[in-house]
A = this chain, B = another copy of it.
Amino acid sequence: MKLPEGVEWGLHCAAHIAQYDDAGPVTRRQLAEQFGLPEAYLAKHLQAMVRAGLLTATPGPRGGFRLARPVDQITALDIIEAIDGGASPFVCQEIRQRGLGAADPVDCQRPCAVNAIMAGAHQAWRAQLKKVSLDQIVRSIPPAIRARTAARAGLATDRP
């Protein structure tokens, strides 16, 4: 199983936007340039985060993206599920009801043991990511990197 690369982009972009804080919205181009990402493809993921209520988008030349909620009220899980959806990586095909050994539907009213185990593991994964706020992610970024971002944000606000 593999998560799409957009998950990494979304987490880093959200953390970047969070650092800009009151310096104003961050444009799609700034985000793409910051991390060397393809702008058109990044746009899709930024829009997904807008639809999920994590970012707000302001149109126009001074427009861009800001956090839609306080930084401590956005979780890593929110961002990941905005981009990749919330489905479990395990898709149960109910093979216990197929083939020569097919179980009787009356014996399959409770979810399959295998499916239940996989759902439990997915919940453990989700619970772990729900515990991590975007605020924590930003605070985990080394000070030197944060200072560099702050300097860039300063420059951005000085420009027309």
User: A residues within 8 Å of B by Cβ?
Assistant: 1-5, 7-9, 11-12, 15-16, 32-37, 76, 84, 89-93, 95-96, 98-104, 106-108, 110, 113-114, 116-118, 120-122, 124-125, 127-129, 132, 137, 140-142, 144-145, 148-149, 152
Contacts and interface: CB of A to CB of B under 8 A. Distances in A.
B89 A34 contact: no
A4 B90 CA distance: 8
How many copies are assembled? 2
A127 B125 contact: no
Given A91-B3, A107-B144, A124-B125, A99 B37 contact: yes
A92 B8 contact: yes
A153 to B, nearest CB: 11
A152 B101 CA distance: 8
Interface core residue of A84, A100, A114 (most chain B CB under 10 Å): A114
Contacts of A32: 99
Contacts of A128: 120-121, 124
A100 B140 contact: no
